[in-house]
Structure 1
Amino acid sequence: MSILNDLQELESAGVISKDTSTRIESYYKNKKDPSTNKLFVVFGILGAILVGLGTILIIAHNWDELSRGLKTGAAFLPLLIGQALCSFTLLKKHQNIAWKEGSAVFLFFAVGASIALISQIYNIPGNLSSYLLTWMLLMLPLVYVMKSSMVSLLYIIGTTYFASETGYWDYPTEIPYVYWLMIAAIVPHYYLLLKKSPNSNFLRFHNWFVALSLTVVLGTFSKQMDELMFLAYASLFGLFYLFGTSKFLPDKTTKNAFTLLGSVGTVVILLILSFNEFWEHLIKKEMFLNEIIVAPEFIITVILSVLAMMFLYERLKSSSIKGISPFSVAFLLFIPIFFMGTFSSIAAVFLINLLVFAIGILTIRAGSKQNHLGILNYGLLIIAALIVCRFFDTDLSFVIRGLLFISVGVGFYFVNYRMIKKRQEND
């Protein structure tokens, strides 16, 4: 390290004493390199995955030549090796993260391979959904026994795949209600990560995986009244944004997965509904109250809206209405607009466009106040996206459309130039 090379020069110049020099040298020599530890964990996980896949390939290559007894033994062999590695880790290497993650990941894939092979050997009936469900339920205890965040991430992927298979691709499809219990079972591990490792990469990956998983699986509730899913997704994205900027998460910047996905998702939903076609379809569709209140789309919408309102209420208690981001309240404003759209498509389209425009302007204003180029340009992009949508949706002449695009381009340049100039003056 460069600081160790400079110690002798600093000591000779009388900047530090010999005793201080010795203590600094001792400190840096004994200090653990965090990047090295992270590399050990990464290579341990990759090594476990490669060894597991290699074992499966070797067995698969010679599969037809094996007797049923040997096939059964080969099916259980990776499982026994994985259990032995995990037992050794718990007894001898319980403080070593690389060993914990590597052995747990190996056992995770070994269990999946063993289930598949035994089912094939003895012709046990079943489908992909039941296979994934069995595999994930067996692996849930492993997350807590080994305290493995990597297995937790694989578990989230597996449960999302199971829910998608059940709700989207199976025939006949059904709503995977058990998914919500399965994803709730991982919350204690996620909570421990929040408390013990608030700045870890594993927590950041969990934020993204959980947010994307919920976004994907929510669509499986679309069975009877698809139109209500726009309300459900608007409330979900509002809940994401409020959770991402709450006291529960240490990272409250736009890098936060929940904040980013919540804001982008809200804008996308509003832009989709800024066109007239959806509202004309909604008015023509017959919907009866007794059917709506028992529809799964309505029930999940109510649950998500109530949760989002609870977070919004907590936010309002700790800050004024002026400090609230437009993304925090967009879902609440969207609810009356949606029901208004069942009677008047013109009013709904006008209000949706007005809401998107207001969100863009307020985001630009927030970026200017915080002297944040990213937030400022995000607001400009929202305005630009709205103009692009109207480009294909109106009968304006090409001259006016061209002038609008030129205005947006000049706005991008002027606003960024002004902020950069302001930063230089402050420096």
Structure 2
Amino acid sequence: MSDKITNELEELLQANVVTTETAEKIREYFHQKKEENHNRLSSIFGILGAILVGLGIILVFAHNWDNLSRLIKIILSFLPLLIGQLLCGYSILKKSESTVWKETSSVFLFFAIGASISLVAQVYNIPGDINSFIISWMLLSLPLVYLLQSSIVSLLYIAGITYYGCNANYFTYPSTHSFLYWLLLLGIAPHYYQLIKTKALSNFTLFHNWFIAVSIVICLGTIAHKNGHLMHFSYMSLFTIFYFIGKTQFFDQQKLKNNSFLIIGKLGILYLLLLYSFKWFWDKSFYKTDSISETLLSIEFITAFVLTLIAAFFFYKKNNQTNFKEIYLLELVFLMNIFPLISGYEFSIVANAIVLFIGIFDVKRGIKLNHLGILNFGLLLITILITCRFFDTDLSFVIRGILFITIGLGFFLANYFILKKRNRNEK
């Protein structure tokens, strides 16, 4: 605790503003906060040190590799692995309460596993590809997450399987197609659940919220095979599910930066709506398929159907508590998954109307709550919609200019009146 706070606390004690018991609690609070900051910095520098040391060892080996005998190569291949295991064993037995030791040693061993696999394969010319290497590396590293409760290794694992999902589907498509990513993702689920239950406000949980959400968004497209043009249905339902997860009691009570599901869900829905508002987007719509029966049995359609059912369940669960009296228009957008079967190309008109109503609703909500962020978000959404129509309509430049001037004035006046209202209330 700083000298300034200590002096002020003593002054409050002498003035009988706080009791001795309250003063002790304040001292204990600031002492714990100082310890947490110290441990956080120690963890960061320890992890960075472990990464740099591991990479440095690999570079030293690589520089002199061709001049070494096979025996020396094998010894050096397993040496980082042995050192990492000894450090992890020491952390478990002697430093079980130290987050710094556990995270640092587990990160070192994580990279040592990858280095040992690649070095041994190089020495004995073992054939393989990058996909099998990443799978082996991630599966061998996964126990570290649970043995040492290492959240950094967990994040590295998520990044690794995400790269695998992209490489096995996007980068080498159509020669390879794999769904193994989804099984690998389940491997980290227990650790993530434990973080949410025990360390809901920690930075590790924050990063897991973002890593997992972004990873799923990136890899959902790997499901696409012959009917990839249907994947926007799956993404619409996925973003809706994310939105409802973000509105659950656990996430809704946290800071917005921690609520990756709400942010990605809402922005994802609006992004797809803006795509839907273009007529060219429907050039590869449901009607462009060669065989309706083949489409209905495709993995893309089945995935979209299942995700839509899950989104409907979340919608019912959230709004049933309020007897469906507080439904936000954004929450109904996932139902558009069935509308294209009826509306076809002209659904772009409906999408325009939905985006406009959402923008107006957010503007009204921002004014009502005296919240500049919500207000400006609604105005920005309307501006983006008008900008989109700027490129695909035949309106004259005069009308377009008037629209932009109107929106600009709306930004200025809305912010001005809210700030004026705040100043009036403060007085």
| TM class by smaller structure | over 0.9
After TM superposition, list the pairs within 5 Å mapping 1:167-178 onto structure 2: 167-170=169-172, 172-178=174-180
Query: Would you say 1:383 and 2:382 are equivalent positions?
Result: yes
Q: Give, in angstroms, the shift of residue 252 of structure 1.
A: 5.1
- Distance (Å, rounded) in 2 between the aligned partners of 1:397 and 1:209: 45
Bigger mean CA offset, 388-397 vs 303-312: 303-312
Cα-to-partner distance string for 1:129-166 (whole Å, 9 max, x where unaligned): 11111111111111111111111111000000000000
After TM superposition, list the pairs within 5 Å mapping 1:342-361 onto structure 2: 342=344, 345=345, 347-361=346-360
Cα-to-partner distance string for 1:319-347 (whole Å, 9 max, x where unaligned): 24342333322112x223322343xx2x2
Q: Which residue matches 1:263?
A: 266
Query: Would you say 1:310 and 2:348 are equivalent positions?
Result: no
- Distance (Å, rounded) in 2 between the aligned partners of 1:179 and 1:46: 28
Letter in 2 for 1:136: M
Which of 321, 329, 341 is the aligned partner of 2:332?
329
TM-score, length-normalised on structure 1? 0.93
CA RMSD after TM alignment: 2.2
The structure-2 alpha-carbon separation of the partners of 1:58 and 1:250, relative to structure 1 and needing over 3 Å to count, comes to farther
SS of residue paired to 1:240: helix
Letter in 2 for 1:102: T
After TM superposition, list the pairs within 5 Å mapping 1:23-42 onto structure 2: 23=24, 27=28, 31=32, 33=34, 34-42=36-44
Q: Is the 8 A contact 1:156 1:209 kept in 2?
A: yes
Letter in 2 for 1:267: L
Bigger mean CA offset, 368-377 vs 351-360: 368-377
- Distance (Å, rounded) in 2 between the aligned partners of 1:178 and 1:313: 31
After TM superposition, list the pairs within 5 Å mapping 1:22-421 onto structure 2: 23=24, 27=28, 31=32, 33=34, 34-170=36-172, 172-249=174-251, 251=253, 254-255=256-257, 256-282=259-285, 285-332=288-335, 334-342=336-344, 345=345, 347-421=346-420
Q: Give, in angstroms, the shift of residue 287 of structure 1.
A: 3.9
Q: Give, in angstroms, the shift of residue 26 of structure 1.
A: 6.6
The structure-2 alpha-carbon separation of the partners of 1:15 and 1:229, relative to structure 1 and needing over 3 Å to count, comes to closer
The structure-2 alpha-carbon separation of the partners of 1:356 and 1:67, relative to structure 1 and needing over 3 Å to count, comes to same
The structure-2 alpha-carbon separation of the partners of 1:270 and 1:73, relative to structure 1 and needing over 3 Å to count, comes to same
Cα-to-partner distance string for 1:160-181 (whole Å, 9 max, x where unaligned): 0000000111254444211111
Q: Is the 8 A contact 2:169 2:176 kept in 1?
A: yes
- Distance (Å, rounded) in 2 between the aligned partners of 1:210 and 1:31: 30
Q: Give, in angstroms, the shift of residue 247 of structure 1.
A: 2.8
Q: Is the 8 A contact 1:245 1:252 kept in 2?
A: no
Letter in 1 for 2:204: F
The structure-2 alpha-carbon separation of the partners of 1:89 and 1:35, relative to structure 1 and needing over 3 Å to count, comes to same
Q: Is the 8 A contact 1:245 1:253 kept in 2?
A: no
- Distance (Å, rounded) in 1 between the aligned partners of 2:324 and 2:27: 53
| Unmatched 5+ stretches in structure 2 | none
Q: Is the 8 A contact 1:337 1:352 kept in 2?
A: no
- Distance (Å, rounded) in 2 between the aligned partners of 1:157 and 1:219: 16
Q: Is the 8 A contact 1:238 1:266 kept in 2?
A: yes
- Distance (Å, rounded) in 1 between the aligned partners of 2:251 and 2:14: 48
Q: Is the 8 A contact 2:229 2:285 kept in 1?
A: yes
The structure-2 alpha-carbon separation of the partners of 1:41 and 1:416, relative to structure 1 and needing over 3 Å to count, comes to same
The structure-2 alpha-carbon separation of the partners of 1:351 and 1:26, relative to structure 1 and needing over 3 Å to count, comes to closer
Q: Is the 8 A contact 2:237 2:308 kept in 1?
A: yes
Sequence identity of aligned pairs in percent?
46
- Distance (Å, rounded) in 2 between the aligned partners of 1:215 and 1:374: 26
- Distance (Å, rounded) in 2 between the aligned partners of 1:382 and 1:398: 21
Cα-to-partner distance string for 1:32-76 (whole Å, 9 max, x where unaligned): 512112111111111111111111111111111111111111111
Q: Is the 8 A contact 2:355 2:381 kept in 1?
A: yes
Letter in 2 for 1:425: R
Q: Is the 8 A contact 1:7 1:21 kept in 2?
A: no
Q: Is the 8 A contact 1:239 1:262 kept in 2?
A: yes
The structure-2 alpha-carbon separation of the partners of 1:287 and 1:41, relative to structure 1 and needing over 3 Å to count, comes to same
The structure-2 alpha-carbon separation of the partners of 1:156 and 1:390, relative to structure 1 and needing over 3 Å to count, comes to same
